[in-house]
Structure formats: structure tokens, C-alpha cells
């Protein structure tokens, strides 16, 4: 077989998205919502009576629901942090396959469970695998993409996350008509093994990150990979300049002998500032209420809005399918409008939608309030993917220095799962204790996103990954970084990477 399927340039990138990124984030999205739809199945309750959410009420029901959901997010958090010790030593491809195998082991344990202990262990192990995949893929994608289309090449994963979530909802809806057989919950828990198999069989069909190869001193291989990614010849001046820029950037960074703990130290490189931004953007993604709807959509439609079981299931699945549209808009606009405008529009839209949802749910006894609340749920799910279903993972990889990129991606991803864990833990209790007022919390955090992003987050659109070091380190004070991102001229590497392929071909 020809190396890298005989493909080059943008065609190679598209096929990598199809064969690696698609299954990776279908795995992510599917696992995020699959278990929620099986909790109420009669057969599931029969096998796991200790986490029965069908025949329990009040605080006990809340405790049972949050236990099943939360243990998975803890596994994801562990997996994201584990990518720090795996991503750089093994490389992006081998790290990805390692985590996909771990996920497959966990999924197998879940789907074959006959007792609660096995289910819990399977949930944790599959979470470790998914968390690791979630941390590695954005880094690999960002390091193999040009500044002019890096955003859409990473944000595209949001479409697949949304697709995976929607797929799980529809699978569970279809199997809800056959609840007496254990296949109704074993099949949906086993289905993502297909995605793991695709990842493992496809990852090595594509080139390793050229930046990781430079970091490891494999310059000849890095040059070959750059030639293939740029679809030019090995003697190209463009490739020589880009390789030299990558070497120079890594030489400057490696001279500082930085490690993981440096991310939490103040200094001229503003590594602590970058770390805070990576955590904050994932706070915005999680603590604005998206996973309240993802995890408990059916419960919201049934208990908060008063719809029947079948109507609630269809509406919940339809809502998560609707999310795909907005994720597609993010793919179109992220490299045209930039990261910051999408973050701010999404934050304000989510906050406004949550406030309107709180108002309508508080008046649910009135005719038409349920329909109005449903409308605002759909509006929320329109705004959320526009800024926070992929771009949050992208941003952390863009602001990190090369030797700490996998570390900062891991911190951002693990904070994503930490906040996810908080949501899973508090939501059932909050619904039971404060009802519609719970939505007001997310209205406040959503509206706060816009000013936070405007004043604290530098724009990364159009700049090379190495260039962001200048954006953070050249200003006199940390609060001048956002203005520096607007005023600093582009570097040579950014201009080289953004050159049109036709120009390169003619040189």
C-alpha cells in the first residue's frame, strides 16, 4: 500500500478527518449521552437495582442518577491528565491508539456487565480512554493544519460530537420499545466499539505531527511530512523556511527547560495566564448549562415541561440533532469571524436563552408555557455549539508553546471533565431542590462570558502556533496581551504557512 494512502495536501487532511477525527468524536459524543437513555429501561433496572431511577423518587433518585453519570466523567478527567505522560513520549498517533484500546476495554466491560461493580469499572476505564482521545486529537489536528484553516480543521470535531450525542439519543429511543431484553441496554453500550476499531485501524495511515517530529529531533521525517502536508516537493523553499522556523521556535523553548509545573508559575511567557485561559474557556463551555440538557434532556421535557414519555424522548433526541446545525455554522465561521466573536455571541445567546427558559418554566401551569420553554431550549442548543462545541478544545492548543502543548491541552480537557463532573453531581439535586431557579444560575454565567472573553482572551485566528509565543511574551503587562494580539504583525512562519498552494507549486 502506498504511504499515507498515496494522498497529499488538503485531500490527505480531509481523509484524516473522515477516518480518524470522525470516529474519535463520535466516540466522545455517543458515550456522553448513551447511558442516560438506558437508566430507565426495565431490563437495566433488573440487573442494577441499586441505581434504579425508575422506581425511586426525590433525593434517592437524584443520588442514583448522578452516580452513574459522574463516575464516567471522573474517568475522562483521569484520561485527559494521563495524556500528559503519554502524548509527548509516544507521539500523537501512538497515544491516540493507546487511549482507543483503553476505551474499547472499558466499553466491553460495560456491555457485558452482570453486576454493578463491573459496570462501574467499565465506566471508569472507558472514561479514561475517551478523555485521552479527547485531549490528543485537537493537538494532532492543530499541529498538522495551517493558520488559515486550523480553526475549521479542529472545530469540525464539534459536528461529530453533536452527531454522536444525537445518534445515542435515537438509538436509545428505538430500543426503548424493547425494554424487557438486556440487548436494549447492552447494544447501545457496545456500539461505540466500532469507533474504537476505526481509530486503531486508521491512525497510522496518516503522518505524525511535524512539530512533534521536530521536538524529537527527527528532522528528515519532519521535512518529508511537511512536504506531504503542503503537497509540494522536498526541495521547496517554502518547506525549508517552515522547517527552520519550527526548529528555531523549539530551540528557544527547549532552552528554558520547561516542565508541567511551569504552567502554574508567573513569568514573562505568561504560562500561568495561558493555563487560566485554557481552564476558563472550558468553564464557559460547561458551566453555562449545555450538559444539563445533554444528560437530562428527557427528564427536563417530562418533569419540568410536562410532556409524556414518548414525546419527551422524541423532543430530547430532536434537540440534540438540532445541535448539529449550529456546529456546522461554527465550522463555517471560525476561520472567517475568529474565535472571540463566536465565543461572545454564543455566551450571550446561551445566557439569554436560559433566562427565558427560567421564566417560562416558572409559569408552566399556563397554556403555551411548555411550547415556549421548548423553543428556548432549542435556541440554547443553537448558540452553544457555535462557540463551545470544539472551539474550546482548539483554543487551548493554539495558545500553548510546543513542548507544553499536550500538557495545556490535557489541563483544558481535564477541566472540561471536572466541570462536567460538577454538573452531573449537582443537577439532579438542583432540580429536586430549587426547580426552575437552577436555570437562572446558567443565565448569569452565560451572559458573563462575553465581557470575560473580550477583555481576557487574545484572538488566535490567522496566526501560527509558534507566533502566539510573541503575543503572550512581548507585552509589558499580562493585561496588554489581548491588544497585542490585534496589533502585532504576522511572523514569517504565519505568512509561509498561509501561502497559497498554487504559489508554492510555481516556485
DSSP class per residue in 199-229 = HHHHGGGSPPPHHHHHHTT-HHHHHHHHHHH
Could you give the CA distance from residue 320 to residue 305 in angstroms, rounded to a whole number? 17
Percent of the chain with pLDDT over 70: 90
Is 23's pLDDT higher than 90?
Answer: yes
Element (H, E) at 366: none
Q: Which residues contact 217 (CB under 8 A, 6 or more apart)?
A: none
Q: Average model confidence (pLDDT) for the chain?
A: 84
Q: Which residues contact 34 (CB under 8 A, 6 or more apart)?
A: 168, 171, 172, 188, 189, 191, 192
Angle between helices 309-333 and 290-299 (to 10 degrees): 160
Could you give the CA distance from residue 314 to residue 170 in angstroms, rounded to a whole number? 8
Could you give the CA distance from residue 198 to residue 141 in angstroms, rounded to a whole number? 17
Highest mean pLDDT among 296-310, 413-427, 435-449: 435-449
Buried b (16+ CB within 10 A) or exposed e, 14-37: ebbbebbbbbbbbbbbbbbbbbbb
Could you give the CA distance from residue 288 to residue 442 in angstroms, rounded to a whole number? 5
pTM: 0.82
Could you give the CA distance from residue 188 to residue 204 in angstroms, rounded to a whole number? 28
**For the segment 265-295, what is each residue's pLDDT rounded down to a tens digit?**
888 889 999 999 999 999 998 899 888 887 7
Is 91's pLDDT higher than 60?
Answer: yes
Q: Which whole number is the average pLDDT over 131-146?
A: 88
Give 257's Cβ-side CA count (13 Å radius): 0
Highest mean pLDDT among 103-112, 302-311, 468-477: 103-112
Is 2's pLDDT higher than 80?
Answer: no
Could you give the CA distance from residue 19 to residue 23 in angstroms, rounded to a whole number? 7
Amino acid at each position: 500500500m502506498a504511504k499515507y494512502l498515496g494522498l497529499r495536501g488538503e485531500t490527505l487532511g480531509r481523509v484524516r478527518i473522515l477516518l480518524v477525527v470522525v470516529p474519535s468524536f463520535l466516540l466522545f459524543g455517543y458515550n456522553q449521552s448513551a447511558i442516560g437513555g438506558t437508566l430507565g429501561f426495565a431490563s437495566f433496572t433488573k440487573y442494577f437495582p441499586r441505581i434504579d431511577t425508575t422506581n425511586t423518587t426525590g433525593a434517592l433518585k437524584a443520588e442514583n442518577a448522578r452516580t452513574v453519570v459522574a463516575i464516567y466523567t471522573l474517568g475522562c478527567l483521569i484520561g485527559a491528565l494521563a495524556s500528559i505522560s503519554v502524548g509527548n513520549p509516544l507521539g500523537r498517533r501512538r497515544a491516540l491508539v493507546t487511549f482507543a484500546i483503553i476505551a474499547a476495554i472499558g466499553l466491553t466491560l460495560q456491555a457485558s456487565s452482570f453486576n454493578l461493580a463491573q459496570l462501574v469499572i467499565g465506566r471508569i476505564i472507558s472514561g479514561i480512554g475517551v478523555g485521552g482521545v479527547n485531549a490528543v486529537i485537537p493537538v494532532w489536528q492543530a499541529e498538522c493544519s495551517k493558520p488559515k484553516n486550523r480553526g475549521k480543521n479542529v472545530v469540525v470535531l464539534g459536528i461529530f460530537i453533536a452527531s454522536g450525542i444525537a445518534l445515542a439519543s435515537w438509538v436509545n429511543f428505538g430500543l426503548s420499545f424493547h425494554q424487557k431484553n438486556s440487548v436494549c441496554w447492552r447494544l447501545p453500550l457496545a456500539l461505540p466499539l466500532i469507533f474504537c476499531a476505526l481509530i486503531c485501524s486508521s491512525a497510522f495511515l496518516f503522518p505524525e505531527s511535524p512539530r512533534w517530529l521536530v521536538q524529537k529531533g527527527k528532522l528528515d521525517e519532519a521535512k518529508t511530512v511537511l512536504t506531504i502536508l503542503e503537497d509540494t516537493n522536498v526541495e521547496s523553499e517554502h518547506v525549508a523556511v517552515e522547517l527552520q522556523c519550527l526548529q528555531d521556535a523549539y530551540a528557544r523553548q527547549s532552552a528554558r527547560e520547561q516542565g508541567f509545573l511551569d504552567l502554574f508559575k508567573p513569568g514573562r511567557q505568561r504560562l500561568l495566564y495561558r493555563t487560566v485561559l485554557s481552564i476558563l474557556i472550558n468553564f464557559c463551555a460547561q458551566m453555562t448549562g449545555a450538559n444539563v440538557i445533554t444528560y437530562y434532556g428527557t427528564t427536563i421535557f417530562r418533569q419540568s415541561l410536562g410532556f409524556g414519555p414518548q414525546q419527551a424522548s422524541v423532543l430530547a433526541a430532536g434537540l440534540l440533532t438540532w445541535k448539529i446545525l449550529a456546529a456546522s455554522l461554527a465550522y463555517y465561521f471560525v476561520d472567517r469571524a475568529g474565535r472571540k466573536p463566536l465565543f461572545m455571541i454564543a455566551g450571550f445567546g446561551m445566557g439569554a436563552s436560559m433566562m427565558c427558559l427560567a421564566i417560562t418554566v416558572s409559569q408552566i401551569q399556563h397554556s403555551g408555557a411548555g411550547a415556549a420553554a421548548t423553543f428556548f431550549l432549542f435556541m440554547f442548543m443553537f448558540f452553544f455549539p457555535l462557540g463551545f462545541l470544539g472551539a474550546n478544545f482548539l483554543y487551548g492548543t493554539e495558545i500553548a508553546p510546543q513542548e507544553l502543548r499536550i500538557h495545556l491541552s490535557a489541563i483544558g480537557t481535564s477541566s472540561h471533565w471536572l466541570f462536567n463532573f460538577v454538573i452531573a453531581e449537582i443537577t439532579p439535586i438542583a432540580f429536586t431542590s430549587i426547580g426552575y431557579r437552577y436555570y437562572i444560575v446558567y443565565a448569569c454565567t452565560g451572559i458573563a462570558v462575553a465581557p470575560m472573553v473580550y477583555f481576557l482572551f487574545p484572538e488566535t485566528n490567522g496566526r501560527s502556533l509558534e507566533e502566539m509565543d510573541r503575543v503572550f511574551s512581548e507585552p509589558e503587562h499580562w493585561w496588554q496581551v489581548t491588544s497585542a494580539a490585534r496589533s502585532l504583525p504576522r511572523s514569517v512562519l504565519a505568512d509561509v504557512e498561509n501561502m497559497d498552494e498554487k504559489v508554492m507549486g510555481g516556485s
